Every structure is written in C-alpha cells, then in structure tokens.
Amino acid sequence: MSSHVIDVEPGRKSTFKDQVMALLPEGGNLNMCLTCGLCSSGCPATGLEDMDPRKFLRMAALGLDDELLSTPWAWMCSMCQRCIHACPMKIDIPGLVANVRRHWPKENQPKGIRESCEMALKHDTCSAMGTNEEDWRFVVEDVLEEIRETQEGFEKLQAPMDKKDAHFFLNQNSREPVTEPDEMVPLWKILHLVGADWTYGSKGWAAENYCLFCQDFEGWEKITQVKAKAVDDLGCKVWLNTE
C-alpha cells in the first residue's frame, strides 16, 4: 500500500477532536486508542484514498483538522461499525467520521447525497427524488390498475393509500415510483397473499433519509418528524421499513 508523510507542527492541538468528544457519549473513547490496527483489518474502506480508520483517528489525535475536513475518505466510510466491534477499547470512529461530514461545507459534499437531502425537504412525501403527493398517488393507482387487469389471481390486489388504523404503515424507496414502479408490486402481492392490514401514506412514505448521511441535523430531524407524524396521524401500529 502506498503512503505519504504528514508533517505535524509542534504543539498542534486537536480542536476538532475535542469538539467531537464533547458530543459523543463518554467522548466516544477517542483518547483510548492502542494503535493495534484491528479497526482497519475488517474495514471495507481501508486503503481508499491512502486512508483507514486507525490513520483517521490518529490524524484527529494529532490535530490535523484541515486534513480531516478535506479527505474524501470521510464519505467512503460506510458507517458499518465493524471498527467498533473489532476495537478492544470500543472507540466510536464512525461518530468521528459523522462529525467530520457535518463540518464539510454543503457545496463540497458529494453531489448525489447532498441533492437527495435537499430534494427530500421539498415535499412532505420526503421523497429523495422530489416526488410530490399527487404524482405519488397517481403512480400507485396506475400500477395497481394495470396489475389488476393483466395478472390472473390478482384482480383484487390492494395498494391502500392513507387507510386509517391500518396495522402496517409501509414506506417505499424513493427511486422505485419514479424509475422502476413495477418493483413495488412484489411486496404488494406478498402482503395481499398473507392478508396483511397495511397502507401507504401520502405523506412521509419515502424510506430513506439522505440528510442522515450528510449529517445535516436539521434536515434529518425534520424528515424524521414528518414520517413519524404521518404514521401517527393514520393511527398505524407498525412502521414497516423497506430499507
């Protein structure tokens, strides 16, 4: 693996790590690193951009704030938490990565993730594709009608919308109604065949929350609140997450 030398100025203090430690429970154990490398051994992002979890943490400890806030590796971490499970000191490196992402200027964040977050905030559907309530309802009804007319045995297939007091509130990946609407149907059929009591909501139906990946706390909270309210308003018992 290639490597490069990083110059560390004498007396350089890690202001960023201190900020992160103030946010994480028990400081995320960020001061307890033994430099054993177990965190890197199972990390799927190890080696990308000449970076790995151990090196990322050591850079934070050495006060290399500018370097942390400019390495694309912060966006390559999958947040899978394998590093935490492998670490004998249970250091929260994903928590460190998350807060690095939070401090990146919006214009420098990965375009796809950032734009998906912004799109989800446009409508109460929370769709990362920007689908509004009217278009969402039209797609569901159109696909349902086609299946009923063309597929034997599913003439009475249901895809309820805003059904009060249904047991399950089903959400949906934002991309499928826009690019692959037929991909919604297999789950409808399963729910139909087992006699499940379920519904979509016209609001809050999008399954994902890209603002989480951007660590956009305000956007993340708003989308979560819209989804929770949609479930509560319909009186559903279970939020069935397809993601």
Q: What is the reported pLDDT for 9?
A: 57
What is the DSSP secondary structure assignment for residue 184, as one 8-state letter? Answer: G
What confidence tens digit (pLDDT) does each residue in 150-183 have? Answer: 999 999 999 999 999 999 999 999 999 999 999 9
Spans of the chain below 50 pLDDT = 1-2, 8
Residue (of 224, 221, 212, 222) closest to 78 by Cα position: 212
> Which distant-in-sequence residues (6+ apart) come within 8 Å of 70 by Cβ?
none
Cβ atoms of residues 148 and 156 within 8 Å: yes
48 exposed, middle or buried (CB, 10 Å; 0-12, 13-18, 19+)?
middle
Q: What is the reported pLDDT for 65?
A: 87
> Which distant-in-sequence residues (6+ apart) come within 8 Å of 171 by Cβ?
200, 204, 205, 206, 207, 227, 239, 240, 241, 242, 243
Give the CA-trace dihedral at 237, 239, 242, 243, to 10 degrees: -150
Token readout for 9 is 């100025």
- Phi, psi torsion values for 73, nearest 5 degrees: -60, -30
Sign of the four-CA dihedral 77, 81, 86, 91: positive
Cβ atoms of residues 79 and 93 within 8 Å: no
What is the rounded distance in angstroms from the CA atom of residue 243 to the CA atom of residue 166?
20
What confidence tens digit (pLDDT) does each residue in 74-105 have? Answer: 999 998 999 999 999 999 999 999 989 998 99
> Which distant-in-sequence residues (6+ apart) come within 8 Å of 149 by Cβ?
none
For the entire predicted model, the pTM comes to: 0.81
